[in-house]
Amino acid sequence: MLTKRLIACFDVKNGMVTKAKQFQDNIDVMPVGEAARRIYEEQIDEVIFYDILASAEKRPIDLDLVRQAAREVFVPFTVGGGIRSLDDMYRVLKAGAEKISIDSMAVRNPHIITQGALAFGRQCMVLSMQVKRVPKTDKIPSGYEIAIDGARVFTGMDAVEWAKKGESLGAGEICVNSIDNDGMLSGYDLEITKMISDAVNIPVIASGGAGRPEHLVDVFTKTGAGAGIISSMLYSPRVEKNYTVQEIKEVLVKAGVPVRPFIV
């Protein structure tokens, strides 16, 4: 059985790792380099870095900040934000990333997923999607709509159909970010995570809502997600208790969830 992965996601703004609530009201946590060093020392399984304003501001990703983080982490490192071309992908990989996350630009130009997969390998391409629960319609039968530009623009696209299309275009992994649950600490959106993990044959990352280790137990036992983002649990000043990676893995092991062992 494949081990489940714990992922720290750095939402980066003006050189700082920040935490938001439903994609708004970001508050600073700590500088990027400090966050990367701390989380690697805690034995996190993977790190995702998002330059959260790059796409909305129509500017390139801040490569200096990517390098700062890459110097501190020696686990799989995914980077996204403001990536518009193969040249952008190459620069991000050269700066230390191992995977590329495509979100808003993939909606605007879906074939960039295929171009990246052909150039760098499917395993490098992560399709990140911002999803919001909406009334079910003929156009959005799943009841979840895709948003872009930091959940500022809604596309009218169905989340499950977009996930399946992303896989067919060459995505090697999908990250499902719940706008409704983001920063709420009440657990992942199990419904959309399960729908998407059932609909595709590539790994799915659950994102948005984790506040306690039990939320990870739920998402790993009730959906096909292979990984969970746990940023708020690790370092958000909004939560009553921050957990260590070791504490979280101890709960998962007791629940029978396979994880990479913590080295004492």
**CA angle (29, 31, 132) in 5-degree steps:** 50
pTM as predicted: 0.95
Residue 116 to residue 89: CA distance in whole angstroms: 8
Per-residue pLDDT of the chain (264 residues; tens, 9 = 90+): 689 999 999 999 989 998 867 666 678 889 999 999 999 999 999 999 999 888 778 888 999 999 999 999 999 999 999 899 999 999 999 999 999 999 999 999 999 999 999 999 999 999 999 999 999 999 999 999 999 988 889 999 999 999 999 999 999 999 999 999 988 889 999 999 999 999 999 999 999 999 999 999 999 999 999 999 998 899 887 777 899 999 999 999 999 999 999 998
Residue among 54, 22, 48 at smallest CA distance from 35:
48
For 261, which DSSP code?
A: P
**3-class SS string, 52-79:** CCCCCCCCCCCHHHHHHHHCCCCCCEEE
Please check whether residue 233 is in contact with residue 248, taking contact to mean a CB–CB distance below 8 angstroms: yes
Beta-bridge mates of residue 205: 175, 227
Q: What is the residue-wise DSSP string for 75-105?
A: S-EEEESS--SHHHHHHHHHTT-SEEEESHH
Phi, psi of 113 (to 5 degrees): -65, -45
Superfamily of domain 5-254: Aldolase class I (3.20.20.70)
